[in-house]
Structure 1
């Protein structure tokens, strides 16, 4: 126990020393008059992005002081078997503080408007439960990629946590895992489109989704469940209109994996269902989510026991 605590503290200390030395070296090399600071680089990137135009219909729906909470019947592939469960998608707009990289408590010139998507998945594997949650923040002022994504997985063996923070042309990645082979890690990956942001983009305008060949970082949930290297992968995206909605799908060439989302044809373009299929030790693994019920509600103010009935409405 003492050795473990010492190791963790040493890793943290080493990281802080590394950051301090890096800052000192940058300061010494650049001088006080250098205008190309890290902050300037990120600001320049932001200013170069195209403004995102939001319709009045979008603003009326998403800035009503409520969140959209949708429940889904979940069929989750895990350990070579299908598991029944429930999933929930919570979409809400809020201000995001770009300095602290969290939801803003107060108005500030450092804030950016974002849509946040929280997704939960709960299912059992035999005797023990799995609980998966991800949070994705996508800006609504510019045509940008997700500026922050985090994901956690809890089950009786232990838990893992992973986070991506956008900075200029990279994502800073933090990983904490109970697996010895992963442990605690910090690294960078190329700043490209992320799979976690796709549902949010679909809610803005499914007809403007990117298609054809592209680079994409797979969902953090998939990366952790399958212990796949965190990096952009070559993929091909397609969009088509079907009888009762729109269908957006992505095929990862090197992962033998396909994901697809079905939305309504009309705003607010609810996510009606999703699908994930990949090769799991030579066998096809398929997970799906199908919409049960949607509520537009200020859930954060509904903590009292009298609101328990709303969970019944969502069939949770």
Structure 2
């Protein structure tokens, strides 16, 4: 390790020392703050014909250096085909094969020197219980394209991976352990859209499947591990570009991997105000170079974005703190 890289690792360690210490922008616990109103039923909010759009100030470590970019999260409900695992064009044609899903599209854009990364994760979960049925991932950069699709069934996850690397493309099946959690699910599960994922102060260890985004950066295979998820006992006040929020906080510790914190707005619809992954103390150097990933909420709105494709509609991105073209 060079002196410069040693200083970088030491600085990161100082920034993230202590899983329960408030990070920059987060104040000490605020247990005495008044509770918000009761959450509305899921359908009355999410079946209004609109999507939630969240824009984030984003940073990620790539090739051992901190990169800055932007991230967009789009949440929307839609009819889904049980047999084809795609959005249904006309739900009335085959109602027995159709069910409602909540879809998350998570888009990360960041620059690495002369070229940029554009990645997108799509997660589809059943609206009734938030169990995943499909996840897809695409990565585009100057070296080539990568696409992965996971079909999720009880007891089984089927993977189809196409890569520009000769030995990476594959099709395989792995078990889906009972109670297993995919990393992509954290952006939905921890929001508690139909009740708390955990009560304050509770913790549990679950089988855990690292995200396609994480596996792409580290070139790791599809493999389950374990993660300990804890909801901190007290809420915290967090300040991000979008404002000041009272948040409940989840800690996620991946076995032999990074540690994450998720700050979720206590008021419905419980938006993810901030997330941050950082290198776990004592983990290997390979993980330490590519484990940091964080987002701070810059803006949020609820709208029918698919209608906003005209010249000049780029102005709506400003509500999210985003720039056209990911720049």
Find the counterpart in structure 2 of residue 174 from structure 1: 160
Distance 2:195 2:63 in 1: 33
- Is residue 132 from structure 1 mapped to residue 119 from structure 2 by the alignment? yes
1:237 to 206, 216, 229: 229
* Mapping of residues 20-31 of structure 1, within 5 Å: none
Matches within 5 A, 1:112-151: 112-141=99-128, 143=129, 145-151=131-137
Q: Secondary structure at the match of 1:228?
A: coil
Structure label with greater radius of gyration: 1
Q: Give a deviation string over 1:185-237, Cα, whole Å, max 9, x none.
A: 10011223211111112331562248311101111110111111212111111
Residue 172 of structure 2 corresponds to residue 187 of structure 1:
yes
Tell me if the contact between 1:145 and 1:193 (Cα under 8 Å) persists in the aligned partners.
Answer: no
Query: 1:303 is matched with which residue?
Result: 309
Distance 1:265 1:233 in 2: 30
Secondary structure in 2 matching 1:208:
coil
2:83 corresponds, among 86, 99, 109, to 99
1:156-177 deviation digits (Å, cap 9, x = unpaired): 0112111110123101100111
Contact 2:130 2:189 in 1 (8 A): no
In 2, distance between residues paired with 1:197 and 1:122? 20
SS in 1 for 2:96: coil
Is 1:71 equivalent to 2:60 in the alignment?
no
Task: Give how far 1:144 is off.
Answer: 5.2
The question of 1:154 aligning with 2:140 is answered yes
Q: What is the TM-score when the length of structure 2 is the normalising length?
A: 0.75
Q: Distance in 1 between the 2:87 and 2:287 partners?
A: 42
Q: How many residue pairs align between the two structures?
A: 260
Tell me the TM-score normalised to structure 1 length.
0.78
CA shift, 1:280, in A, is 4.3
More helix as a share of residues:
1
Q: Does the alignment pair 1:109 with 2:111?
A: no
The separation in 1 between residues aligned to 2:130 and 2:117, in whole angstroms, is 32
Label 1:144 to 1:73 Cα distance change in 2 as closer, same or farther (>3 A): closer
Q: Distance in 2 between matches of 1:280 and 1:242?
A: 33
Q: Which runs of 5+ in 2 are unaligned?
A: 1-38, 237-245, 323-327
- Runs of 5+ consecutive residues of structure 1 not aligned to the other structure: 1-54
Q: CA RMSD in A?
A: 1.9
* Alpha-carbon shift at residue 292 of structure 1 (Å): 0.2
1:200-219 matches, within 5 Å, as 200-203=188-191, 204-205=193-194, 207-209=196-198, 211-219=203-211
1:267–1:235 CA distance, 2 compared to 1 (3 A): same
Give the secondary-structure state (helix, strand or coil) at the position aligned to 1:61: helix
In 2, the alpha carbon distance for the partners of 1:113 and 1:201 equals: 17
What do residues 26-63 of structure 1 show as CA deviations (whole Å, max 9, x unaligned)?
xxxxxxxxxxxxxxxxxxxxxxxxxxxxx644322211
State the secondary structure of the residue aligned to 2:196. Answer: helix
Does the CA-based 8 Å contact 1:206-1:269 persist in structure 2?
A: no
